[in-house]
Structures are given as C-alpha cells and as structure tokens.
Amino acid sequence: MSEVRVGDKVACVGSNNKVEYSEVYLIAHVDKDKQAEFLKVDYTKPDGTTGCLNLTSEHHLFVNDSFDYARNVRPNDSQIQILYKDELIPVRVTNVSKEIRKGYIGIFTRTGTIIADDVFCSCYSSCPPYQNIIHYIMAPIRFTTLFHKSNYCDSEIHPYLKFLYNNYKSITGAF
C-alpha cells in the first residue's frame, strides 16, 4: 500500500458489489517512518491457507454484512469479505491481535472502498461507519480532484478531512 500514488487504479468494490478498479484521488495522510498501533486480523481461506489484514482500530471494513470499525471485529464471531479467485467470498476471522508497525497511509478511491490485503475495506475511518453518508460528504473533494489532481502528501490529515472531523466532534460533543 505504501507504494500507491494519486492517479493509480486499485482493486475495490463498486456499487454493484463486484470487484472493479477505482482511481486513487487522494492520499489523506502518510508517514512511512512513524510507529503506530495496528490490529492484525487473521482469517483462513477456503483452500486452508491463511491471510491477514493490518489496519488501525478506527478504520472501517466490511464485517458481518455491513461496515464497522476494525476494533469491533471478533475472532470466530466476525465474518469478513475477501477476494478469492477473482470473487468476493465471506470468511470467518480466526484471530485479532495488536501490534506496533512502522508507517501508515490513508488512501481514498472514487468508490470509497478498497481491497486491502485481499480484504474488502472502506477508505474511511475515525467517524461512525456509515459508508454512504461519508461517501456523499466526500463528494466535493472527489469532484474537485477530477479537474485538479491532489498533490497532498503529508503526515497530517488532509485539511478538508480535518475540517470535517473537527466539525463532527463539535456537533457530537454538543449532545
């Protein structure tokens, strides 16, 4: 993932729930050297081989037929969707552990989804996992980047996302 650049096309899940390729329009933040806590989500494929996905606890992935925070994934109770032989299939999570890893990147695709380490994930994190609402809110920056390619590449979160997140925190803090 660390080699992905704006303009690349990556595997994702489209509106018809089929695997397709979508353009990366934004790198929300990246730091190849920073240490961060990740969850390692292990699963077993139908052929008996194992796979894993490393992501932060705040990232969203498709689990038990909807998007949820990675922190809510539970071994043996959670089912994720993986890309296996060119199609999405459900598999059970066998283990979830924490580990410190070096580097992170936040990739945004035009579909709002990505296949990361063969697992169906959202591009979004840190706010409630309402995929369609978040994707709608991201429309202005998706539209803008159709005409002006983003060259943002910083360890700080993209200014538009920071604005959205700070407003979300101020609104939810009021209730």
CA distance 168 to 29: 19
Q: What is the pTM of this model?
A: 0.90
Cβ atoms 86, 19 nearer than 8 A: yes
Residue in the block written with tokens 């729930």: 17
Strands 79-84, 113-116: parallel, antiparallel or unpaired by DSSP?
unpaired
Q: Beta partners for 97?
A: 40
Q: What is the pLDDT along the chain (175 residues), one digit of tens a residue?
A: 668 889 999 999 987 888 999 999 999 887 788 898 999 999 999 999 999 999 999 999 999 999 999 999 999 999 999 999 989 999 999 999 999 998 888 899 999 999 999 999 999 988 777 888 889 999 999 999 999 999 888 888 888 888 888 887 777 775 4
In order of their start, the domains of the chain are: 9-173 (2.170.16.10)
Cβ atoms 61, 120 nearer than 8 A: yes
Cβ atoms 147, 108 nearer than 8 A: no
Sign of torsion, CA 124 116 2 139?
negative
